[in-house]
Amino acid sequence: MGKTTYKSSGVNIDAGNHFVKLIKPLVDSTRNKYSNTGLGGFSGAFSLPRGYKNPLLISATDGVGTKLKLAIDSDVLDTVGIDLVAMSVNDLVTCGAKPLFFLDYLATSKLIPEKHMDVVKGIVKGCREAGCVLIGGETAEMPGFYRKNDFDLAGFAVGIVEKTKFINGKKVKSGDALIGLASSGLHSNGYSLARNVLFKKAKLKQDSKPQGFRRPLFRELLEPTKIYVNSVMDLISKFDIKAIAHITGGGLLENIPRVLPNGYKVIIDSKSWKKPRIMNLIQEIGNIDEEEMHRTFNCGIGLVLITPDNQKQRVLKRLDTLKQKAFLIGEVTKSKKVLNQVKII
């Protein structure tokens, strides 16, 4: 009877070391003058940027959800890392915070360094776009816990904002305008419903190309989450942005009320933008009503800004200059009810 080792039990330390060696140049490419440690230590160190009088550190964490299942099944792993970064840094900017650094956690049944490096490539790409450092992370090989080829991701981001510039929605008032920034697709929410409708109910194949679509279905669904950091950082330096809502799980109906003061509601004109084709397909095949769509998907709006009415046209013009598609989608009004509301017409 042979000796029992960690490797024979399913965990390959050598593969983990090889993985770190492979990703080190990628991770190092995100470093900046505030990074004080490299990959391989027990923790990451980061110097606070100068120029802040009373800085607030803002933190966020999120995952990619069942979008990972689609990535695994289609063996396309180089985009979900972008999603991972986007979901956290987009939360940070709702407070007006500039992302500083990011950490990731990857847990899998069996680590395949050359394959899982594609995930890190996406994370690095997302960090570069968001202007933050990939300061560290953790890779866990967990045989018997995850099924073959399955893995999960979690991301953690920290940002910074001057306390006097912290965006919390308290200044929102009746008459303020809602500006919706276009999403790139489903982003990272609603995939359990989407997969149920498209692959179980309609029995479509992942490489199917529905009529009117230029790409296979899996490519449409794996379109990475839009990162809004650069657009928002530019806008808050020039305009009075009173509140920002990241449209994630819960859609427009659940996320906008999170940034409204009590006694206010918003009225949204659903005809002011077009719902993405992929969402129309899901809605049609699944026979999904409008309320369910707006509670599950972003329906084409990934971020909502609330700004004074007299600034809305200048904000829209600036977004156009930044090549960020945006729409005037509604306004804030008083509400007699205690709970905040979103009315979509």
Residues 95 and 229 in one domain: no
CATH code at 115?
A: 3.30.1330.10
Same structural domain, 186 and 154: no
**Do both 214 and 68 map to the same domain?**
no
Domain-terminating residue out of 129, 144, 165: 165
- Asked whether residue 31 falls in the same domain as residue 112, the answer is yes
* Pairing mode of beta strands 243-246, 301-307: antiparallel
Instruction: Report the predicted TM-score, pTM, of the whole model to 2 decimal places.
Output: 0.92
The structural domain count of the chain equals 2
Residue 102 lies in a domain: yes
Q: Interior CA angle at 102 toward 180 and 258, to 5°? A: 35
68: containing domain:
13-165
145, 165, 185 - which closes a domain: 165
Say whether both 143 and 196 belong to one domain.
no
- Whether 5 maps to a domain, the answer reads no
**Which among 164, 181, 179, 163 has a CA at the least distance from the CA of 230?**
181
SS3 202: coil
Per-residue pLDDT of the chain (345 residues; tens, 9 = 90+): 567 666 766 767 767 777 777 777 776 677 877 777 766 677 788 788 888 999 999 999 999 999 999 999 999 999 999 999 999 999 999 999 999 999 999 999 988 888 888 999 999 999 999 999 999 888 888 888 888 889 999 999 999 999 999 999 999 999 999 999 999 999 999 999 999 999 999 999 998 888 888 899 999 999 999 999 999 999 999 999 999 999 998 999 999 999 999 889 999 999 999 999 999 999 999 999 999 999 999 999 999 999 999 999 999 999 999 999 999 999 999 887 766 688 888
Residues 72 and 114 in one domain: yes
Q: Are 154 and 29 in contact (CB under 8 A)?
A: no
Contact between 179 and 315 (Cβ < 8 Å) = yes
Helix, strand, coil in percent for the chain, rounding step 5: 35, 25, 40
Among residues 109, 131, 165, which one ends one of the domains? 165
Give me the residue label for tokens 């360094």.
Answer: 113
Same-domain check for residues 159 and 199: no
